[in-house]
Amino acid sequence: MSIYEKHVPLMSAMENHLNHVYSSDRVYGEWFDLDDTRVQNELIPMIERLAIEQAETKAHKEVTDELKKKYDNGTVRNPTAAETALHEAYLTAKHAHTLAKARHAIDDAKVRALIGASESIEGVVLVKLKKQSKHFNKAAFLKSLAADELALCHATVTEFKAGSPKIEGVKNG
């Protein structure tokens, strides 16, 4: 049943973003456990905001695509202050993104090496096979857990790939 519908310029990008943001609320496949309050107060405003950003981005991309089709006329002008600031912000963000990707790859390799063939590292990480049922009752599941198991449900979660081990850990200190 559809509760809310919104046409957005970049639907696949929107879907990927929302799948990432709400991954901890995933029940199965493309199904998420979000109550009406979160949908109204979180999800819908986020979609509305992202749709505006997507429309602006798409408009800039269309202009860029048109400019790429034109021949260079040899004219060169000095950049405006706003253009210079935007370019500097772009370079800073690009550099930070490159560093973050490299750090992620290094940390990913370190975690995988530390885990090795063991099932956990005491107090750091516990590797469990990720199981999903077609029919999952989150409320009943949470109710069935002991207090120490329930505490693990809200731990930090990192997933490497669909179908691969799921790493859970709690930051100490």
**For residue 160, pLDDT beyond 60:** no
pLDDT in tens, 8-37: 999 999 999 998 898 888 887 778 888 889
> Which ranges of the chain would DSSP assign to H, the alpha helix?
11-21, 36-38, 44-69, 81-115, 138-144, 147-152
CB 153 within 8 A of CB 145: yes
Q: Find tokens 């500097």 and name the residue.
A: 88
Q: What is the average per-residue pLDDT within 44-50?
A: 94
Q: What is the average per-residue pLDDT within 42-65?
A: 93
Percent residues over pLDDT 90 in the chain: 38
Please give the pLDDT value at position 173: 47
For residue 128, report the phi and psi dihedrals to the nearest 5 degrees: -130, 145
Please give the pLDDT value at position 99: 94
Please give the pLDDT value at position 74: 83
Percent residues over pLDDT 70 in the chain: 81
CA 93 to chain CA centroid, nearest Å: 17
Q: Please, what is the end-to-end C-alpha distance for the chain in angstroms?
A: 45
- The single-letter DSSP state of residue 120 is E
For the chain, what's the residue count? 173
**For residue 161, pLDDT beyond 90:** no
Q: Find tokens 């049922």 and name the residue.
A: 133
pLDDT in tens, 85-124: 999 999 999 999 999 999 999 988 888 788 877 777 777 7
The whole-angstrom separation of Cα 34 and Cα 43 is: 9
